[in-house]
Chain A
Amino acid sequence: MMNRRELLQAIAVATGAAFVYNPAYAIWKPPAAATSVADSGFNAQQVALIEEICETVIPRTDTPGAKDAGLPAFVIGMIRDCYTPTQQALFEAGMANVETRSQLNFGKSFTDASDAERNELLTAIDSEALAYNKGEKVVWEGEGFGDLPHYFTLFKQLIIFGFFTSKEGGTEVLRHVEIPGTYKDIPYKEGDRDWATVWPT
């Protein structure tokens, strides 16, 4: 993989040009920063809950997990900046529901539950989400959220997007080549990693 310095060298070779950035002239503007965790309105307990939900969905294995990749800060910024008020309300209702069910099932907060307990609960809720989205009656009634899917679908899709488009997810779990040079067929065997993407999906 090529680092920034090597990229600059490659460009200089290809174009014969040396250059520096002058952001004053930029038309491509740096987008506004994401809402920070501190400004998000989530309290410490909620932030800890989001963190553990993220890590349970995408745990650290022999490669980085959600926490290593900077979630939940990303998830929190996305929720506050890119989701509608109704979606945000669903997200928060879902967080409360996870917490309630942890208390019911294990007699303790989700953040105090063991990895195995967290996995057990979210696995059950993941199955429930699948059933709910097919129109089956499940524990979560989704009252007040109209046509929105089960809250866990929102959690899962956002966590997956955030993780696999993070640097850790994109380069250490997926593969990334900054300057591929060409496009061609290659042999594939099970276990070979997929490629990172460069456009938002």
Chain B
Amino acid sequence: MANNTYDAIVVGSGISGGWAAKELTEKGLKVLMLERGGDVQHLKDYVNMQKNLWDYPHHGRPSLEAKATEPNMARGTGYPFNEPTMGAWASHQTAPYVEKEPFQWFRAYQMGGRSLLWGRQTYRLNREDFMANGKEGIAVDWPIRYEDLEKWYGYVERFAGISGNNDGLDVLPDSDFLPPMNLNVVERDVAARIKKQYKGERHLIIGRCAHATENRPDQGRGKCQHRDKCWTGCPFGGYFSTQSTTLPAAMKTGNLTVRPMSIVKELIYDKNTQRVTGVEVIDAETHETITFNSKIVFLNASTLNSTWILMNSARDVWDNGLGSSSGELGHNVMDHHYMLGGSAEVDGFLDQHTYGRRPNGFYIPRFANWGSDKRDFLRGFGFQGRAGREGFMRDSSELGIGAGLKASLAEPGKWTINATGFGEILPDHRNKVSLNFETRDAWGLPVLEMDAKIRDNEIKMRKAMKEDIVEMFDSIGLKNAKSWETTYHMGKGIHEMGTARMGRDPNSSVLNQHNQVWDAPNVFVTDGACMTSASCVNPSLTYMALTARAAEFAVEELKRGNL
């Protein structure tokens, strides 16, 4: 567009950026979407989507060299770092960060961001989630309530395609669902036993996920085929991503311009109007600096990078950057703490097996501190898991060798059940990120320094999570129930939240109830940075709803001449 001027600039092309682009373009705005990484075209760039483990040099496992190149990601255990997804995560080599406390930061610097690599679990926050801070005197109160977001949840769910069952639980409000995936025979049995044992106060339900369980010809998406290779991109567009779902809608309007390889260095702030006039971009390839102008800016660069952009903007006006007047910018880092859970054996059902690779599991919604359940910590946790028959990697130490071993492992073993806990982390001012000017990235920009850790409430909760899952499995008659735990540190949940929270008061929050930066109302932050508290459910669905809500408000405000 002439002289690089647009109605709106969207920074980031992940889950929330894709939504911002779709909503703003559909409302008639000319939008520039900036993505710091390279382009990824739907289908044609999913080079691994048809591979099997035998197509990878080490059958999927990362080599020591690969681990040594990316020590931050390769630490400990966890799904993300392996041969099928190699190259899809941002590299520490070009984009380092500093850890004052251990922090694992999984970033996807390419078109679509983490929408191509996410876990796809999608749950609404509940009514209490929006009120708990206020009631308990923790951090600040959310400036919105469930009722403010309810219609927006429905709106984004219908378009994104969320599979799930109407369970009718207050603790986990139902979405506007596509048909649920199936629990297997053992999971249904365990669900029934839990319901009976806990008199309807605890539940095991099918996971809710952003998978099309029906064909969506209007979107050019086929239904999920249960291949379970989602992290390599889906040939059917079976799961929600920017590429499969929001980008085609935005492109169709003719109002969207996408510019990959565009690293936003800062927002350009005008002291006189107290508005942002645009953004300054570094071209990732040429290192050239380019300015783009717009009436509004949506920051959707991912939680910590949206905050990084604010911190690196208007430093001549505020020492700690745009949005820092409250003293809260960069503070209140949250995540979901996990890397612990329980397992047990299930007797019987040896005449049953399953067909297909379900890219989803069961969910046990929060029960702690809910209803009559009272604990010595605040908030709660949920469990994600699955039951299945043991595979060839089961303990084979007593199966001998040779033809007998081969025949044994060619058949499934006994049924087991596994559940991993995900707990809420309280917002805490002491948990923060800041700019570190000593370390620079490949473009000479300062990097983030992470200084956040779990504290007393989370540590107490973790003990309860392990005890509760073992007690549940024991009490319903499962065998050899035991808990497990490996190292968790902030970021490992890949659910970073906070650092530019919403609130009611410019003195204690960075954003208002419409996700506008108090210090520059034509800047909207609608990714995880805006979260005032974390709940214990997977957060992406909430970012989608907040983004759609803020986009409508932004366009109305533009029309009213307020921005």
Question: B-contacting residues of A (Cβ < 8 Å)?
Answer: 4, 7, 11, 13-17, 19-23, 25-34, 56-59, 61, 63, 65, 74, 77-78, 81-84, 119, 122-123, 126, 129-130, 133, 153, 156-157, 160-162, 164-167, 170, 173-174, 176-201
Contacts and interface: CB of A to CB of B under 8 A. Distances in A.
Contact of B45 (A25, A170, A177): A25
B391 A194 contact: yes
A75 B485 CA distance: 30
A81 B402 CA distance: 26
Given A164-B409, A180-B226, A194-B412, A130 B398 contact: yes
Contacts of B355: 177, 180, 182-186
Interface in B351-365: 351-358
Given A15-B222, A84-B64, A185-B185, A61 B403 contact: yes
B86 A28 contact: yes
Given A19-B43, A183-B181, A28 B85 contact: yes
Contact of B356 (A26, A156, A182): A182
B137 interface: no
B60 to A, nearest CB: 3
B411 A179 contact: no
Contacts, number: 253
Contacts of A17: 42-43, 220
Most buried by A among B44, B66, B358: B44
Contacts of B40: 25, 27
Interface residues of B, number: 83
B237 interface: yes
A20 B43 CA distance: 8
B120 interface: no
Contacts of A56: 401-402
A81 B350 CA distance: 39
A26 B38 CA distance: 9
Contacts of A84: 64
B221 interface: yes
A81 B356 contact: no
Contact of B61 (A28, A196, A200): A200
Contacts of A191: 411
B202 interface: no
Nearest to A11: B235
A194 B351 CA distance: 13
Interface in B19-74: 37-48, 50, 52-54, 56-66
Contacts of A34: 57-58
Contacts of A179: 225, 227
A17 B45 CA distance: 13
Contacts of A129: 397
Contacts of A193: 410-411
Nearest to B184: A185
B152 to A, nearest CB: 28
Nearest to A182: B356
Contact of B58 (A81, A153, A192): A81
B88 interface: yes
A201 B82 CA distance: 10
Nearest to A178: B227
B82 A200 contact: yes
